[in-house]
Amino acid sequence: MQQLIKELLEANVGKVKEKEPLAHHTTIKIGGPADVFIEPNSIENLQKAMSIIQKHQVNWRAIGRGSNLLVSDEGIEGAVIKLGEGLDELSINEDEVTVGGGYSLIKLATIVSKQGLSGLEFAGGIPGSIGGAVYMNAGAHGADMSHILKKAQILFPDGTIEWLTNEEMEFSYRTSVLQKKRPGICIAAILQLQKGEREEIVAKMQKNKDYRRDTQPWNYPCAGSIFRNPLPNYAGKLIEQAGLKGYTIGGAKISEQHANFIVNIGNAKAQDVLALISYVKTEIQRLYGIELATEVEIIGRKS
């Protein structure tokens, strides 16, 4: 690992840190250290970093703003690549938006709404990056990234960069081709929006933001929705009906505001959250015969 770090520093790829705690980079404020933590400052330097990682045959993982992630207390083996400054360009041409993978989804939704562009109202209040939103087909209020993505620019582990069409991204509920079939990093996206009435668009987005603020516990560190909705049922409703709101293990608690959220009420460990997830799954299976699947991505070394 020391040789990998040495070569990354010599290549001047951006920020390179050893044993960086991932609790500093996740919205739930949980996570042990990454062996190597890299913040490339350009696409070229991201390619360089990936080339060095591949040369050393080290496991890697890309993150954006750390939402929808639960990192184990033991941290992550190998390299963690964070997209941020240098991969956050923005260009708006009429109703077409080209945006870097490290760009804030909330910030973009706010900017385009003020320009009278419709299509991203659902994203008001979703605390992720564009790259992460494409990777997991983020959505809310009956819409998601698959409705607006025209093309995604993907860096693959072999260093090649390709533009994948909406169809090639193979979107489905909270998933894309990048998750298992073709692992890669979304470094940019072209979004097709529609021109509309600025006041209506801003009002709709604000309504969505207000709804999230009023119904979800963003006053505590959390990772977003923990479970996928087993449609036609809703995970939060099932958990609430089971009387599990407020149930606590260690520093992790099922939110009393929205039962599909687990919040960090103080120095929670990943093992606390995992124990809560396991307990909820067991109870919902016992009471309703429904198997809940996690929406939050659980990554890192096993304890």
Q: Examine the residue annotation and report whether 74 is marked as an active-site residue of this protein.
A: no
Greater confidence (34 vs 180) lies with 34
Confidence of residue 303 (pLDDT cuts 50, 70, 90): low
Among candidate residues 174, 176, 255, 297, the one labeled active-site is 174
pLDDT digits (tens, 9 = 90+) for 134-186: 999 998 888 999 999 999 999 999 999 999 999 999 999 889 999 988 999 99
Annotated active-site residue 295? The verdict is yes
Q: What is the pLDDT of residue 3?
A: 94
Give the whole-angstrom CA distance, residue 4 versus residue 16.
Answer: 10
Mean predicted confidence (pLDDT) in 2-10: 95
**For residue 219, pLDDT beyond 90:** no
The per-residue pLDDT for 1 is 85
Beta bridge partners of 188: 100, 153
The residue annotated as part of the active site, out of 72, 118, 225, 255, is 225
Annotation marks residue 301 as catalytic: no
Q: What is the pLDDT of residue 212?
A: 80
Going from the N-terminus, what domains does the chain have, and what CATH number goes with each?
2-82 (3.30.43.10), 90-215 (3.30.465.10), 235-299 (3.90.78.10)
Q: Across all residues in the chain, what is the average pLDDT? A: 94
User: Residue 24 contacts by C-beta under 8 Å, 6 or more apart in sequence?
Assistant: none
User: Cα(300)–Cα(274) distance, rounded to whole angstroms?
Assistant: 13
State the catalytic residue, choosing from 7, 20, 295, 297: 295
Full-model pTM: 0.90
* Predicted pLDDT at 180: 83
Peptide bond into 127 cis (omega under 30): no
67, 103, 128, 295 from 40: Cα distances, Å: 19, 14, 18, 28
